[in-house]
Structure formats: structure tokens, C-alpha cells
Chain A
Amino acid sequence: NAGVMQNPRHLVRRRGQEARLRCSPMKGHSHVYWYRQLPEEGLKFMVYLQKENIIDESGMPKERFSAEFPKEGPSILRIQQVVRGDSAAYFCASSLGSTIYYEQYFGPGTRLTVT
């Protein structure tokens, strides 16, 4: 059973470009979470999605950031018009169900560098 997969593992974008980060959850998992780790900081929750629904986006910046988890295919975290402050590691996690009952399993992360 493959773990959580993220691609690309490294992404370089110039200021003003768009970044699209992909996350394929573990087989059978329908709950996906995105976290951001800024340089020298801990991981911060961004968004929690179930298939075709955003459940909690309380950690998402108000502008330029969006996330989706379509019925088919991976979850996508999209950052429009990237700025240098978006440079960070973005981690995706998945679970079988609510965090109340189930462990989250983390992917290897995508390291975004904005030049």
C-alpha cells in the first residue's frame, strides 16, 4: 500500500507565477489535510478537505491560495501570483476519517522556492 504521495518534490517559481502542488492520499483515504512549514518554523494547518468539499479552511491565507479535492484525482493546493514569502515546505496528510478517531499519514512534502 503506497503512502501519501506528493509532487513535485521541489518546485521553483518566479514571483508572480502560479504554483500547483499535488497530493494523492493513501488508498482508501478520503480525508486530506494541507500544512505549511515556513523556514525555521513548525508546521501550521492550512486546510482540511473531503472529496469535493472543503471542511475547514481556517488556516488558509485569505488571498491567492485555494485548495480542491475532486471526485477523481489528487488534491491540489494552488497558489496564485507567488511571492517570496510563500517559499516553504508544503505537507499533505490523509486519513481514513475524522482526526477524532484516525491517525493522519504525511507525505514527503513539496518544497517551494520563489525567486
Chain B
Amino acid sequence: KQEVTQIPAALSVPEGENLVLNCSFTDSAIYNLQWFRQDPGKGLTSLLLIQSSQREQTSGRLNASLDKSSGRSTLYIAASQPGDSATYLCAVYSSASKIIFGSGTRLSIRP
């Protein structure tokens, strides 16, 4: 049974810092891995999707890596800004029917 864990559950850093969010999964037989952002009381915003054959994806200040063999993914945020404050969710596509979500990392960027 696939389980997805995100550590830390919460993170607070000063503006301008580079930071890394971690995601681990127990079953390496995955198809895709996706990172989402969720603002309080809002829906999901897709940030990056990494296919199983890929090792990383980049979009602007965001870079996501995938290491299937070790069951890990990281989301790197460069030069963090207060507007980056949100909950970041890691989601693993490990079956034909569903995505398994981690419980998220709540990020706070201090001005």
C-alpha cells in the first residue's frame, strides 16, 4: 500500500532564502509525481508534474526532482517571497485510479 510522507509539516523561513521541501513514498512503482500548492480555504494549484521517466522539472523559481529508487522527491524554491506562503502537497500517481497525497508542508515566508 502506497504511503506518502512530507516532512516537515510546517516550515517558517525569512524572505529571500532558498528552501527544500521533502516528500517520500513507500512504493517506488509510480507513474507520475506532482507538486501542488494550496492556499487557505482554496483549491489546488498544480506546480510541477514529473513523469516516471524524468528526474526533474523546472518552472521559474521552482525545481522538483524525483528519485524513484529511493522513494523521494524534493521541491526546491529559490529566493523565497512572502507570496510563496501556502501549503505544498506532494501527490503520487501509483495506480490506474487514484492519486495518493501527502499531508502537506505548511510554508510561511517572513518578510
Contacts and interface: CB of A to CB of B under 8 A. Distances in A.
The answer to whether A and B interact is: yes
Interface of A: 33, 35, 41-45, 48, 55-56, 59, 91, 93, 98-101, 103-109, 111
27 contacts: A33-B97, A35-B99, A42-B102, A42-B103, A43-B89, A43-B91, A43-B99, A43-B101, A44-B101, A45-B99, A45-B100, A55-B97, A56-B97, A56-B98, A59-B98, A99-B93, A99-B95, A99-B99, A100-B31, A100-B93, A100-B96, A101-B31, A103-B32, A106-B44, A108-B42, A108-B43, A111-B41
Given A99-B96, A99-B98, 8 more contacts: A35-B101, A41-B103, A44-B101, A45-B98, A98-B96, A99-B95, A100-B31, A108-B42
A91 B43 contact: yes
Interface residues of B, number: 23
Contacts, number: 60
B43 A33 contact: no
Nearest to A44: B101
